[in-house]
Amino acid sequence: MPVLDGYSAVRMLREQGADLPIIALTADGMAEDEERCRSAGCTGYLTKPISMNALLQGAFDQIDRPTLAAAVETSTAVVSARNSASHAVTNTGNSVSSGTQQTDVIPDNPFLREMADLLLNKIEIVIPDVLQALRDQDVSRLADQAHWMKGTGGTVGLPGITAIGTDLEHAVGASDFAAATALILQLQQTTERLSHRMAEISEG
């Protein structure tokens, strides 16, 4: 967030006496990230890309826990299962690692498909700005766009967009503009391919 990150927001809520369940939804799947979220005051933890079942289960685990003390006792079994399932997408490494099979995955859920379609349209709109940021070697703008794609792609069930966003964020962080150029080209091709598939499903 532009003014306050999620960790700070949760800490502020807790300091002000908020005693309610807070589920962290993050694109990072590392153990230290979960610890950081829980230390900030989160009572649940889920990573992107997230399935509807995992989200509903995570919310259900918190529903009947009216106090923070009770919520903290939530079992971590769901978190462990979800982390194992999403490990391949959330830890893509520093290279252009996304194969066509992974980048072409689209959500089965009709609502998520609708959200995914909106995201793809948004990406098509922002690509010229991303390309301009690349020409300007504007690391801050590129990093912001990469982080947005990494997180939002997982939220709407497009692990391919998450993977590209992750790789782009790493490339920009290393000032590897050659890799960033290749990733943006991959992003354009993936977006076009996914949009075409979504249109075929809608027409079918």
Same fold, 6-90 and 100-203: no
- Please report the sign of the dihedral spanned by the C-alpha atoms of residue 15, residue 16, residue 17, residue 23: negative
Domain 6-90: CATH class, spelled out: alpha beta
pLDDT for 156 beyond 50: yes
The top-scoring range by mean pLDDT among 37-41, 93-97, 132-136 is 132-136
User: What radius of gyration do the chain's Cα atoms show?
Assistant: 18
Q: Tell me what the mean pLDDT of segment 55-63 comes to.
A: 75
76: Cβ contacts below 8 Å, ≥ 6 apart:
none
What are the residue ranges spanned by the domains of the chain? 6-90, 100-203
Whether residue 19 has pLDDT greater than 70 = yes
Tens digits of residue pLDDT in 95-120: 344 444 556 888 888 888 888 899 99
What is the structure's pLDDT at 153? Answer: 87
What mean pLDDT is predicted for residues 30-36? 82
Closest CA to 90 of 6, 174, 150: 150
Mean pLDDT rounded to a whole number for the chain: 78
3-state class percentages of the chain: helix first, strand second, coil last, to nearest 5: 70, 5, 30
- Residue 91 has a pLDDT of 38
Fold of 100-203: Four Helix Bundle (Hemerythrin (Met), subunit A) (1.20.120)
Please tell me the least confidently modeled range out of 80-89, 102-111, 133-142: 80-89
